[in-house]
Amino acid sequence: MNVEDAVKNRLSARAFTDRQVGEAELRAILEIARWSPSGGNCQPWHVYALSGASMAAFRAEMTKAMAEDPMGEEGEFPIYPPAIKEPYRTRRFECGEALYRSIGIPREDKGGRLMQLAKNYDFFGAPAAFFFALDRQMGPGQWAHLGMLMQTIALVAEEKGLATCMQEAWARRHTLVRRFFAVPDELQLYCGMAVGYADRQAPINSWRTTRAPVDEFATFRS
Ligand SMILES: Cc1cc2nc3c(=O)[nH]c(=O)nc-3n(C[C@H](O)[C@H](O)[C@H](O)COP(=O)(O)O)c2cc1C
């Protein structure tokens, strides 16, 4: 698989098969992805990898937490700006609509949409996951650098036949994640990532998001 294929084939998978992914596979992905660039080569990322019996234990804790507090906590940072502008607002809206359309949940079915949202906290059934954190001292630059690591991980996973879904949703469950991994106070949890083998038959994996054409976001002076 070349880079172009990996970039174009990667998608956010939201249903996974039972096929297991263990520490060896997660470690192999990180062995490659650690070569991602970062400003000043600071490598400002901390990764927590979850699989096997620990995934089962985490799921058990999460199931309990969901029962006690279905809505989750306030995140430590806003995932989106409070009144997100155009064209971002419409893009986000259309993405959500296409997702729910793929599984036949109309806009009025608030309960159905919440149930789908809650699947984030089961990693959409994925057998493994990563969580990403960075030091609270770090600013926008270093957050972007962490994003580079995450994208590299997603592409390396793709090359290995695995699928991923990045999950900012975990910002609303940061306390549980922090406790489970004993994340030090100076680190802030940013995002999770489900990892597994995509269920290719699942309707939720059957649609694709679109992208703006190059001239909508790029300015050329030649
Ligand atoms: C940093 C980041 C966080 C995301 N968080 C979530 C999430 O919490 N739940 C979810 O279902 N999708 C999440 N997504 C997936 C995006 O909705 C998806 O990447 C986008 O719609 C483009 O679709 P594609 O990944 O299939 O190309 C996230 C993506 C990124 C890059």
Q: Kindly report, residue by residue over 76-93, the tens digit of the pLDDT.
A: 999 999 999 999 999 999
169 lines ligand 1 (CB under 6 A): yes
- CB of 46 closer than 8 Å to CB of 188: no
Whole-model pTM: value is 0.97
- CB of 116 closer than 8 Å to CB of 36: no
148 lines ligand 1 (CB under 6 A): no
7, 88, 134, 167: which to mutate for ligand 1, most atoms within 8 A of CB?
167
Provide the 3-class DSSP secondary structure of residue 209: coil
Please report the pLDDT score of residue 65 as a whole number.
95
- CB of 188 closer than 8 Å to CB of 76: yes
Provide Rg for the chain, Cα atoms.
Answer: 18
pLDDT per residue as tens digits for the range 25-58:
999 999 999 999 999 999 999 999 999 999 999 9
- The pLDDT confidence band at residue 70, using thresholds 50, 70 and 90, is confident
How many Å apart are CA 131 and CA 181, to the nearest integer?
10
13 lines ligand 1 (CB under 6 A): no
Q: pLDDT averaged over the chain?
A: 97
Measure 20 CA to ligand 1 centroid, in angstroms: 22
Q: Which helix (H) or strand (E) holds 187?
A: strand 187-196
Q: Which helix (H) or strand (E) holds 129?
A: strand 128-135
- The pLDDT confidence band at residue 165, using thresholds 50, 70 and 90, is very high
Which of 150, 199, 161, 151 shows the shortest CA–CA distance to 1?
A: 161
How many Å apart are CA 113 and CA 96, to the nearest integer?
10
Which of 196, 211, 15 shows the shortest CA–CA distance to 102?
A: 15
How many Å apart are CA 200 and CA 53, to the nearest integer?
26
Identify the structural domains of the chain with CATH numbers, from first to last. Answer: 3-79+121-207 (3.40.109.10)
Please report the pLDDT score of residue 12 as a whole number.
98
